Amino acid sequence: MKIYNTQTRQKEEFKPVEPGKVKLYACGPTVYNYFHIGNARTFMFFDVVRRYLEYAGYEVTFVQNITDIDDKIINQSITENVPASDVAERYTKAFFEDTAKLGLRPTTYAPKATEYIGKMIGFIRELEKNGFAYEADGDVYFSVDKLDNYGSLSGKNIDDQMVGARIQENKQKKNPLDFTLWKRSKPGEPTWNSPWGEGRPGWHTECVVMSRDLLGETFDIHGGAIDLVFPHHENEQAQAYAQNGKPLANYWMHGGFLNMSGEKMSKSLGNFFTTRDVLEKFDPEVVRLFFLSKHYRSPIDYSPELLEESKSGVANFYDALEFIDFLKIQNPGGKFGKYAQKYYDEFKEAMDDDFNTAKAIAILFELTRKIKSLEIPSDIRNEYAHALVEIGSVLGFFSDLEKKLAKDDLSGKLVEMMIEYRVLFKKEKNYTMADRIRNDLADIGIELLDTKDGTIWKSKRK
Ligand code: AMP
Ligand code: ZN
């Protein structure tokens, strides 16, 4: 399996630290508002990474943190005149509700920054002891000049960065690129006691401490969208090097943005739709198809028209499955090899090549076409249907298949009984009764289709 590694700017063969196991960390939300559909793109991508790694046989530990202490949360609490913890709790709850609605599987761990303050203080003290941190008036900074390979993840030329950073120069900093490990609190702000006085940890320290605590000192994959490469991930990794001389993660994965008319969707620009609002209009699987149809590193422009297209795409999957007696052929554990094998192989090849979900989705469409080709014998179409559901499930589709396919047990049996009667009437050349059965079934939304293997049926979805 190959993964594009931001660190080396190339696709690399994936070798986990521990054979058969993957430790994955994706930066989670800062909980000061409902998360937008751009954030959802990144969250959903890592949900798919996790699902695929598991399908590929790895045991995955997946951590996504909750940043529940941050300037933005404090500002929101001032605006609303409520405690910062109220804001954080409200939007943490909303985050879990909305990710569940989106069809994201719960992560293995979802650590909150505020539960790790003691460990963060201990970590900053170690950096201080190693000579990488200095205190100035209750704030503690990381000294980037002390670290030889600072800038190696982002490939940024640090001198160029300095020019930009100098504009907002902070007189306390030795180098304008030095970043905050611990921030002195102002009166009324949430605060924790520390060797440097009352304050709170910096964002970059939060993630490095939580990820290493749960996944080990050097873990496999660390991810987010590309906005996090610099400074967030650069600074996380800098702290890890400063503490033990080792990289924080072996593979750094960064997704492209969801844009609005070419510009990054972001809360600060105000050009966003919350995931909540989008899910009012579009089914979670439609959003999933919309995102996964593009490679994760390519930008996507938010487009209601393309979402409408994805809606037809998803409807098409179910439409194909309606014509298959899928519930009957479900065969847990046993794969139907022969005909569908090619598609399983192509799927694996696409996903093993840096998670090419766009190719994987094309395979789902191809299978859908085959399932609907009635000239193909039904046992082969059943096999394709099985592949569609199995591959689709790895990408996070079809989690509610039985509910969505209206063929529940009893009504299914009754429809099949009517089909048998129709066959008998036709044998007796009683076409009046045969047509009546067809028409009466149509009236209740059951459509019959005569194929050379016999009659199949589907019910119009509600
Ligand atoms: P935040 O809550 O801003 O820290 O972002 C949470 C996650 O969403 C991070 O991984 C960000 O990189 C990612 N993200 C933010 N904006 C976008 C966007 N427009 N498109 C895709 N991912 C984004
Ligand atoms: Zn982070």
Quote the percentage of the chain above a pLDDT of 70: 94
Instruction: Kindly give the distance from the C-alpha atom of residue 50 to the centroid of ligand 1, in angstroms, as a whole number.
Output: 18
Residue 103's Cβ-count burial label (10 Å; 0-12, 13-18, 19+) is middle
Q: Cα(63)–Cα(45) distance, rounded to whole angstroms?
A: 14
Residue identifier of the C-alpha nearest atom 8 of ligand 1: 39
pLDDT greater than 90 at residue 157: no
Question: How high is the pLDDT of residue 161?
Answer: 67
In this structure, the residue with its CA closest to atom 11 of ligand 1 is 225
Task: Give the torsion through C-alpha atoms of 168, 170, 171, 176, to 10 deg.
Answer: -80
The model's confidence at residue 457, banded by pLDDT at 50, 70 and 90, is confident
pLDDT at 333: 44
Q: Beta-carbon neighbour count of residue 126 at 10 Å?
A: 14
Closest atom, ligand 1, to C-alpha of 224:
10
Instruction: Report the C-alpha gap between 195 and 128 in whole angstroms.
Output: 11
166 — pLDDT class (breaks 50, 70, 90): low
User: Hey, what are 413's tokens?
Assistant: 């049996």
pLDDT digits (tens, 9 = 90+) for 288-345: 999 999 999 999 999 999 999 999 999 999 989 887 765 455 554 445 568 899 999 9
- Which atom of ligand 1 approaches the CA of 226 most closely? 12
Query: Tens digit of pLDDT for each residue in 392-444?
Result: 999 999 998 877 776 566 777 888 899 999 999 999 999 999 999 999 999 98
**Which range (96-110, 169-183, 210-224, 295-309) has the least confidence?**
169-183
In this structure, which ligand is nearest to the CA of 263?
1
Instruction: Please tell me the distance between residue 27's alpha carbon and the centre of ligand 2 in angstroms.
Output: 4
Residue with tokens 């890592």: 46
pLDDT of residue 445 exceeding 80, the answer is yes
For 451, the 3-state DSSP assignment is strand
- For residue 29, give the ligand 1 atom closest to its CA: 2
Rg from Cα positions in the chain: 27
Separation of alpha carbons 85 and 68, rounded Å: 8
Distance 375 CA to ligand 1 centre (A): 47
Q: Which ligand does the CA of 266 lie closest to?
A: 1
Q: Which residues surround ligand 2, an ion (CB under 5 A)?
A: 27, 207
Per DSSP, helices labelled H in 130-246 are 158-167, 203-215, 234-244
Can you say how many angstroms the Cα of residue 88 is from the centroid of all Cα atoms in its chain? 22
Least confident of 56-60, 160-164, 391-395: 160-164
Residues 94 and 32: their CA atoms lie apart, in Å, by 10
Residue 112: the pLDDT is: 98
Q: Answer for the pair 214, 220: CB distance below 8 angstroms, yes or no.
A: no
Q: What pLDDT, on the 0 to 100 scale, is given for residue 407?
A: 59
19: burial class by Cβ within 10 Å (0-12, 13-18, 19+)?
A: exposed
- Terminal CA-to-CA distance of the chain, rounded, Å? 41
The residue with greater pLDDT, 6 or 448, is: 6
pLDDT of residue 171: 81
For 92-136, what is the HEC assignment? Answer: HHHHHHHHHHHCCCCCCECCEHHHHHHHHHHHHHHHHHCCCEEEE
Q: What residue's CA is closest to ligand 1, atom 7?
A: 39
Looking at ligand 1, which residue's alpha carbon is closest to its atom 23?
39
How many angstroms separate the alpha carbon of residue 122 from the centre of ligand 2?
Answer: 19
Predicted local confidence at residue 191, as pLDDT: 96
Tell me: the pLDDT tens digits for 249-266?
999 999 999 999 999 999
Q: How many A from CA of 290 to the centre of ligand 1?
A: 17
Q: How far is the centre of ligand 2, averaged over its atoms, from the C-alpha of 207 (Å)?
A: 5
Q: Which residue has the higher pLDDT, 415 or 461?
A: 415
Interval 274-291 mean pLDDT: 97
Residues 6+ apart with CB under 8 A from 123: 205, 208, 209, 239, 243
d(CA 116, CA 43): 22
pTM score: 0.90
Higher model confidence: residue 167 or residue 369?
Answer: 369
Residue 165 pLDDT: 62
Q: Quick one: which of 44, 8, 40, 3 has its CA closest to 22?
A: 3
pLDDT reading at 117 higher than 80: yes
The pLDDT value given to residue 405:
74
CA separation for the pair 446, 411 (Å, rounded): 10
Q: For residue range 38-47, what is the model confidence (pLDDT) as tens digits?
A: 999 999 999 9
Q: What is the DSSP letter of 134?
A: E
Check whether 236 has a pLDDT greater than 60.
Answer: yes
Q: Is the pLDDT of residue 462 over 60?
A: no
> Is pLDDT at 274 greater than 80 in this prediction?
yes
Q: Are 68 and 114 in contact (CB under 8 A)?
A: yes
Separation of CA 164 and ligand 2 centre (Å): 23
- Mean pLDDT calculated for residue range 214-219: 98
> What band does 169 get if pLDDT is binned at 50, 70 and 90?
low
Give how far the C-alpha of residue 440 lies from the chain's centroid of Cα atoms, to the nearest Å: 45
What's the gap in Å between 451 CA and the centre of ligand 2?
56
Beta bridge partners of 225: 255
Query: Which of 33, 227, 287 is the best mutation target for the ligand 1 pocket, counting ligand atoms within 8 Å of the beta carbon and taking the most?
Result: 227
Q: What's the rounded mean pLDDT across residues 348-355?
A: 98
* Ligand 1 pocket by Cβ (under 6 Å): 27, 29-30, 38-39, 41-42, 224-225, 227-228, 257-258, 264-266
User: Is the Cβ–Cβ distance between 302 and 273 less than 8 Å?
Assistant: yes
